């Protein structure tokens, strides 16, 4: 079919905002302007879809008149979860409109539980799940008694919210050292009861908390692997990230704050080992473990890796820290063209 006989497929770029923004925003002025330009380059027609629970019905009506939706909304926005939005997106997808990331994919890949479900993989680590504050209070001391710090993570969050590094307090077994991962946080000394109480909100809606062993090579930085569906589309590297320790001998409050993430193309030589692992090994194993088909992968997603212990040959190993699918931004420019082409292909343009 020729392009002259078929209208351009419409793609809504959806993000969270307020009523004023919905009424005035222009894609050309938004941070997603380059995404919109890339979509136009492959013959698609992007449009802004500013979302808020307060006018969800209006957005729902808009989405019923597009062919696809690309979503950038964090798990928590202005103290609200994505529950209402996810329900709306699932309903829209049920009408035959393409949605990425689909709420089902987010539930399987984009929560911290993926660390537990894939712990047997070569990217896995020592991971446990606490279904309730009761299990946390009972089992955390046993884990800390093994001598290794733990990182506790709420089921679904972003930007370090609900993530805590917890260590034993040497001179008093009734106390722990705890540091929240959000920017500007400092280490606190508290009782287990106090810490458990602080974590209670994370267990709302019957959500568990995930407990992962702290990785001692955190000081070597974190590598973020960006994918468009099943192909690596770029990398990010952050030298100083959340929970970075203070210098040896310095007070805990002198721990450096997270620095910028630097972005690289998928061909960057020092990241080729992790690229091969992802494309040739991890991805297929993850899909089997999560009982997903490759077609269900989000168009744009990323996986964060910390450096694990060196292997017998002295090569780096990698430990999965989290997978992000709800709102992947910013991302390398190298992913723009693959994202646009994958969107076009999903919509069956030709």
How high is the mean pLDDT in each 10-residue block of the chain (350 residues)? 64 97 95 98 97 97 98 90 95 97 96 96 97 94 94 86 92 91 87 94 90 94 97 94 78 77 96 97 97 97 96 93 96 98 87
| Model pLDDT, residue 97 | 97
Angstrom CA distances, 328 to 37, 96, 158, 305, stand at: 18, 24, 11, 16
285, containing H or E segment: helix 283-290
For residues 350 and 344, give the distance between their C-alpha atoms in angstroms, rounded to a whole number.
Answer: 9
DSSP 292: -
Say which residue the tokens 């020592």 belong to: 126
Closest CA to 246 of 236, 257, 238: 257
- H helical segments located in 52-102: 56-63, 83-94
For residues 210 and 40, give the distance between their C-alpha atoms in angstroms, rounded to a whole number.
Answer: 41
Q: The pTM is what?
A: 0.93
273, containing H or E segment: helix 272-277
Tokens of 268: 């960057």
For residues 205 and 196, give the distance between their C-alpha atoms in angstroms, rounded to a whole number.
Answer: 17
| Model pLDDT, residue 349 | 60
């Amino acid at each position: 079919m020729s392009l002259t006989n078929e209208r351009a497929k419409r793609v809504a770029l959806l993000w969270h905002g307020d009523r004023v923004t919905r009424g005035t925003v222009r894609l050309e002025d938004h941070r997603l302007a380059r995404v919109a330009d890339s979509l136009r380059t492959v013959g698609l027609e992007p449009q802004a879809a500013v979302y808020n629970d307060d006018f969800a019905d209006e957005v729902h009506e808009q989405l019923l008149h597009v062919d696809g939706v690309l979503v950038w909304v964090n798990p928590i926005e202005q103290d609200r979860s994505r529950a209402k939005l996810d329900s709306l997106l699932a309903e829209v997808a049920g009408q035959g409109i393409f949605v990425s990331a689909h709420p089902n994919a987010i539930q399987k890949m984009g929560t911290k539980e993926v660390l537990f479900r894939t712990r047997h993989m070569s990217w896995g680590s020592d991971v446990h799940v606490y279904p309730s504050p009761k299990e946390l209070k009972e089992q955390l001391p046993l884990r800390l008694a093994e001598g290794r710090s733990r990182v506790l993570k709420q089921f679904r969050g972003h930007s370090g919210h609900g993530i805590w590094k917890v260590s034993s307090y040497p001179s008093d077994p009734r106390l722990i050292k705890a540091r929240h991962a959000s920017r500007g946080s400092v280490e606190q000394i508290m009782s287990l009861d106090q810490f458990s109480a602080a974590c209670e909100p994370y267990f709302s809606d019957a959500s568990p908390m995930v407990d992962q062993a702290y990785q001692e090579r955190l000081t070597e930085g974190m590598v973020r692997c960006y994918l468009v569906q099943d192909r690596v589309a770029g990398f990010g590297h952050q030298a100083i990230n959340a929970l970075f320790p203070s210098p040896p001998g310095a007070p805990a409050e002198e721990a450096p704050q997270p620095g910028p993430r630097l972005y690289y193309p998928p061909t960057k030589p020092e990241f080729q080992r992790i690229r091969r692992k992802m494309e040739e090994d991890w991805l297929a194993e993850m899909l089997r473990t999560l009982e997903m088909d490759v077609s269900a992968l989000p168009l744009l997603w990323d996986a964060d890796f910390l450096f694990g212990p060196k292997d017998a040959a002295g090569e780096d190993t990698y430990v999965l820290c989290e997978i992000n699918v709800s709102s992947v931004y910013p991302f390398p420019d190298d992913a723009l063209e693959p994202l646009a082409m994958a969107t076009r292909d999903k919509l069956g343009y030709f």
